């Protein structure tokens, strides 16, 4: 990646899946599309060796991460939290530091609460990309407002396909050949 490039790249990136939990997810708008895109991004990140971080908001009350996502994650253990922003969790901050994350690619729910607060609280040294077709809220209006507020604050707003091609950069790369089927799906 060029030093001053506005594009996101594989090196230093991590996928953050925020609070896609059993009791909350069924209430989400466009949930089938969001789930499909999150699963696609998980598969993509695993093939590209991009680290994946998962959080759960108060799992005692909201349940665990949905089965469809957990079955794709292998040995990734969710980070439990009570703060809406993931940056309220010391374990989360320690994980970012350990992984040396420079770009955080965010998906999950709810767009106007935990996703937005996490994106806005990220330190300046971390570039944030929110994948619009892989985030949701109960009300569609809250999704649009959250995406607009994040965009206005300098957060990169992307789509699943846009983010995958941007991370790959070149059709001649070995990674492109390995994930080609995911790009077609």
129 is a catalytic site residue:
no
Round to whole Å and give the CA distance between 160 and 34.
10
114 is a catalytic site residue:
yes
- Under DSSP, is residue 13 helix (H, G, I), strand (E, B) or coil? strand
45 is a catalytic site residue:
no
Which of 81, 86, 129, 133 is catalytic? The answer is: 81
Which of 45, 114, 129, 133 is catalytic? The answer is: 114
Which of 19, 45, 86, 133 is catalytic? The answer is: 19
| The token pair that represents 93 in the structure block | 């901050």
Alpha carbons within 13 angstroms on the beta-carbon side of residue 57 total: 23
**What is the distance in angstroms between the CA of the first residue and the CA of the last residue of the chain?**
26
Round to whole Å and give the CA distance between 65 and 59.
8
Round to whole Å and give the CA distance between 109 and 106.
10
The torsion of the CA quartet 119, 123, 129, 135, rounded to 10 degrees, works out to -20
Nearest to 131 by CA among 45, 2, 27: 45
Q: Among all chains, which residue has been given the structure tokens 């955080």?
A: 104
> Hey, which residues are catalytic here?
19, 81, 114
């Amino acid at each position: 990646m060029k030093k001053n490039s506005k594009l996101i790249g594989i090196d230093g990136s991590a996928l953050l899946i925020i609070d896609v939990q059993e009791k909350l997810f069924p209430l989400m708008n466009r949930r089938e599309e969001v789930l499909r895109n999150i699963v696609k991004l998980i598969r993509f990140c695993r093939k590209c060796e991009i680290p994946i971080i998962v959080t759960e908001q108060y799992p005692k009350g909201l349940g665990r991460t949905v089965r469809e996502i957990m079955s794709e994650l292998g040995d990734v253990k969710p980070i439990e939290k009570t703060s809406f922003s993931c940056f309220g969790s010391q374990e989360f901050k320690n994980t970012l530091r350990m992984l040396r994350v420079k770009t955080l690619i965010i998906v999950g729910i709810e767009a106007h609460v935990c996703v937005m607060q996490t994106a806005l609280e990220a330190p300046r040294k971390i570039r944030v990309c929110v994948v619009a077709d892989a985030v949701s809220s109960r009300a569609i209006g809250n999704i649009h407002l959250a995406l607009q507020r994040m965009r206005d604050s300098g957060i990169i707003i992307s789509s699943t396909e846009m983010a995958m091609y941007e991370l790959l950069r070149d059709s001649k790369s070995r990674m492109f050949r390995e994930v080609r089927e995911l790009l077609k799906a």
